[in-house]
Amino acid sequence: MSSTVIEIVRQNGEETEVVRRAVHEHPLVVRLCHWVNAIALFVMVGSGLQIFRAFPSFGAKIPQKDLLQWPKAFAIGGWLGGALQWHLTFMWIYIATGFVYLGYQLFSGNYRQVLFTHRDVPGVWPMVKHYFFFGPKPEQREAYNPLQKHAYTTVIILGVLSVLTGFAVWKPVQCSWLAWMMGGFHWARLLHFLVMWAILAFVFGHLVMVLLHGWDNLVSMLTGWKKDPEY
Amino acid sequence: MDQEHRNDDRIEEPEKVEKPSVVAGDSKPADAVSAVPKPPQSMAERKALRTGIHEADFSRLSRRELLKVAPVLVLGAFAVPSLQELLLRRGLGFSDWASKQLFRRGHFAPTFRDSELTPFERFPINDYDIDDPGVIYENWTLTVSGAVQKPGEYRLAQIQALPRTRQNTRHVCVEGWDVIGRFGGARLSDFLAMIGADTSARFITVGCADDYYESLDMETALHPQTLLCYEMYDQPLTREHGAPLRLNIPTQIGYKQAKYLTDLKVTNVLDKIGYWEDQGYSSFYGL
């Protein structure tokens, strides 16, 4: 593992006492991608919901059966054209962070910290018991427990899907093979919408966990250093 | 690595601490032993000291690392009202440029079976103003101008005399809805050949009876699926759908498919792009 552990020491007269430990969890590239992507995702969802307001349905245009009247106050762009400008601008930032992140993780080997593999499977159930059924806390051996790895791996796949479904909606002719795989423009648009809600479900869980456990986690995504790691 | 550099400095610290005790110690062997740093017993401890860092230094390190993430705040420029419009215009411009790169001359929009057609009565009628601008068919002509050898007034019969193409293609509205319709008409490329258009010119612009206006890049105009459409569902175009002549461009978004055409111009310069584009929509919304 690439993480570096250091001990934070305090000088007490002649004694050097170790006060806490810290581990370097997040390389700068990952931290930058995280925050840029967080902002881009916020704009993509906000403007996407404004775009959705123009035709809040997945059925026929005639007769139109609205699915959801999303309030304008919780959307970005003000009108369809404005929202499209935000969406078509930030999608490049969103895609760029995705490429930089995936490329970095792959070539640095840092992906091992996040990627959920078959080795993580046995650890899933104890973690579920701990989180949801008051089970004992399993020993933490690395930066992320199996459920965290599962969540992060899933959301990265969802991120890729959000881009692919988005391209099928934006370019159903030039990327007709992509749209075809999703059942055509009509279904691609629905999938794009569903992927958004799946990502939002992750974001919700992510924020709840940060609120519950996480000042040190939040700081680590800013400075790279996690204080008092459990492993 | 950065922090290891710092750690090298730290290594000296414990030795400095222990030096005084060596100096202060008397000649008794037992004392000397206790004063000497204990290398073998404390391998782990030494390792810890190697990687140790003082609290203040760690705070400084953290702050420096935090500052490295600060460039993210550049995105805050999008929140500045005076910059926002410019940045979004640039972003949209980049998207339009990318759209144009993605366009392939020989790539066809998917076509559909008759059984997949949206029934005619469920084909939406979308216009920005009125369903029927009151075109008088008998007097109708298409006024052709610009970089063409044969400018002038063209009658519907002349357009209908060109080979007829019928296609079942998807019509996608920028709002998000889509329908599969059946369109019939003459290829715009055939018409451009008939009027002797300079196809090295960059744009085709059209004007409409309801004062709607649009423009097309030459590549899209020459695409075999781009039609001067006078039929829908094998019937003459109805007034609400743009009679007597409209555009059908399956490789482009709905607002490009102008209805009630009255004027067509071949040009290299655009003073306006299109009714919706000039209000902030994509100027090249290729599907």
Q: How far away is chain A from the Cα of B286, in angstroms, using its nearest Cα?
A: 7
Could you tell me if B31 and B131 lie in one domain? no
pLDDT in tens, A27-53: 999 999 999 999 999 999 999 999 999
pLDDT-above-70 percentage for chain A: 99
Enter the tokens of residue B222.
């020459």
Confidence of residue A136 (pLDDT cuts 50, 70, 90): confident
Chain A CB contacts of B174 under 8 Å are 54, 80, 84
Q: How far is CA B70 from the centre of its chain?
A: 28
Could you tell me if B123 and B264 lie in one domain? yes
User: Is there a contact between A224 and B179 if contact means CB atoms under 8 Å apart?
Assistant: no
**Helical (H) or strand (E) element with B221:** helix B218-222
pLDDT in tens, B237-262: 999 899 899 999 999 999 999 999 99
- Enumerate the domain spans of chain A: 5-227
**Helical (H) or strand (E) element with B242:** none
Q: How far is CA B188 from the centre of its chain?
A: 26
Chain A CB contacts of B176 under 8 Å are 51-52, 54-55, 189
* Pairs of CB atoms within 8 A across A/B: 166
- Kindly state whether A161 is in contact with chain B, defined as any CB-CB distance less than 8 angstroms: no
- Kindly state whether A167 is in contact with chain B, defined as any CB-CB distance less than 8 angstroms: no
User: Is there a contact between B52 and A7 if contact means CB atoms under 8 Å apart?
Assistant: yes
Enter the tokens of residue B58.
């760690």
Q: Are A8 and A19 spatial neighbours (Cβ–Cβ below 8 Å)?
A: yes
Backbone angles phi, psi at A58, to 5 degrees: -125, 10
Could you tell me if B115 and B235 lie in one domain? yes
Confidence of residue B5 (pLDDT cuts 50, 70, 90): very low
Q: Which of B68, B65, B10, B67 is nearest to A24 (CA)?
A: B65
Task: List the domain range (segments joined by +) for residue B146.
Answer: 85-279
Q: Which of B244, B136, B248, B253 is nearest to B183 (CA)?
A: B248
Backbone angles phi, psi at B144, to 5 degrees: -105, 130
Could you tell me if B68 and B95 lie in one domain? no
For all residues of chain B together, what is the average pLDDT? Answer: 83
- CA gyration radius for chain A? 21
Of the partner residues A54, A61, A189, the one whose CB lies closest to the CB of residue B124: A61
- The A residues from 12 to 41 touching B (CB cutoff 8 Å) are 14, 16, 18-19, 22, 24, 28, 31-32, 35-36, 39
User: Is there a contact between B286 and A222 if contact means CB atoms under 8 Å apart?
Assistant: no
For all residues of chain A together, what is the average pLDDT? Answer: 89
Could you tell me if B7 and B109 lie in one domain? no
Backbone angles phi, psi at B197, to 5 degrees: -70, 145
HEC secondary structure over chain A:
CCCCEEEEEEEECCEEEEEEEEEECCCHHHHHHHHHHHHHHHHHHHHHHHHHHCCCCCCCCCCCCCCCCCCHHHCCCCCHHHHHHHHHHHHHHHHHHHHHHHHHHHHHCHHHHCCCCHHHHHHHHHHHHHHHCCCCCCCCCCCCCHHHHHHHHHHHHHHHHHHHHHHHHHCCCCCHHHHHHCCCHHHHHHHHHHHHHHHHHHHHHHHHHHHHHCHHHHHHHHHCEEECCCC
**Helical (H) or strand (E) element with B181:** strand B178-187
Backbone angles phi, psi at A69, to 5 degrees: -95, 90
Could you tell me if B237 and B112 lie in one domain? yes
Q: Which of B202, B51, B15 is nearest to A20 (CA)?
A: B51
**Helical (H) or strand (E) element with B186:** strand B178-187
**Helical (H) or strand (E) element with B204:** strand B203-208
- The A residues from 177 to 196 touching B (CB cutoff 8 Å) are 179-180, 184-186, 189
Determine, yes or no, domain membership for B77: no
Determine, yes or no, domain membership for B44: yes
Could you tell me if B146 and B46 lie in one domain? no
User: Is there a contact between B91 and A89 if contact means CB atoms under 8 Å apart?
Assistant: yes
User: Is there a contact between A225 and B62 if contact means CB atoms under 8 Å apart?
Assistant: yes
Domain end marker among B72, B95, B124: B72
Could you tell me if B103 and B38 lie in one domain? no
ipTM over 0.90: no
Q: Measuring CA to CA, how many Å separate B273 from each of B104, B127, B159, B188, B214? A: 21, 17, 25, 19, 6
What's the CATH code of the domain at B204?
Answer: 3.90.420.10
Q: Which residue of chain A comes nearest to B118, CA vs CA?
A: A60
Of the partner residues A82, A89, A224, the one whose CB lies closest to the CB of residue B65: A224
Determine, yes or no, domain membership for B188: yes
Enter the tokens of residue B265.
């111009």
Task: Say what the pLDDT of residue A92 is.
Answer: 96
Task: Say what the pLDDT of residue A46 is.
Answer: 96
Cα–Cα distance measured from residue B226 to residue A153, given in angstroms and rounded to the nearest whole number: 44
Q: Which residue of chain A comes nearest to B45, CA vs CA?
A: A18
Determine, yes or no, domain membership for B287: no
Task: Say what the pLDDT of residue B246 is.
Answer: 95
Identity (one letter) of the amino acid at A142? E
Could you tell me if B15 and B48 lie in one domain? yes
Three-state DSSP class for residue B261: strand
pLDDT in tens, A93-133: 999 999 999 999 999 988 888 889 888 888 888 888 888 88
Chain B CB contacts of A80 under 8 Å are 174-175
Q: Which residue of chain A comes nearest to B104, CA vs CA?
A: A174
**Testing the interface with B: which of A174, A180, A226 to mutate, by most B Cβ within 10 A?**
A174
Of the partner residues B14, B55, B286, the one whose CB lies closest to the CB of residue A10: B55
Domain end marker among B72, B100, B127: B72
Q: How far away is chain B from the Cα of A36, in angstroms, using its nearest Cα?
A: 6
Q: Which of B191, B193, B199 is nearest to B217 (CA)?
A: B199
Domain end marker among B47, B72, B97: B72
Backbone angles phi, psi at A105, to 5 degrees: -60, -40
Cα torsion through A38, A43, A46, A51, rounded to 10: -140
Could you tell me if B44 and B164 lie in one domain? no
Determine, yes or no, domain membership for B79: no
Of the partner residues A10, A86, A223, the one whose CB lies closest to the CB of residue B88: A86
Enter the tokens of residue A191.
């999938």
Q: How far away is chain B from the Cα of A212, in angstroms, using its nearest Cα?
A: 22
User: Is there a contact between B177 and A57 if contact means CB atoms under 8 Å apart?
Assistant: yes
Could you tell me if B126 and B55 lie in one domain? no
User: Minimum mean pLDDT among A127-136, A146-155, B42-51, B118-127: which range?
Assistant: B42-51
The tally of domains found in chain B comes to: 2
Q: Specify which residues B186 forms β-bridges with.
A: B164, B228
Per-residue pLDDT, averaged over B121-150, amounts to 88
- Kindly state whether A61 is in contact with chain B, defined as any CB-CB distance less than 8 angstroms: yes
Could you tell me if B46 and B93 lie in one domain? no
CATH node for A5-227: 1.20.950.20
Q: Which residue of chain A comes nearest to B276, CA vs CA?
A: A81
**pLDDT of B177 above 80:** yes
Confidence of residue B51 (pLDDT cuts 50, 70, 90): low
**Helical (H) or strand (E) element with B111:** none
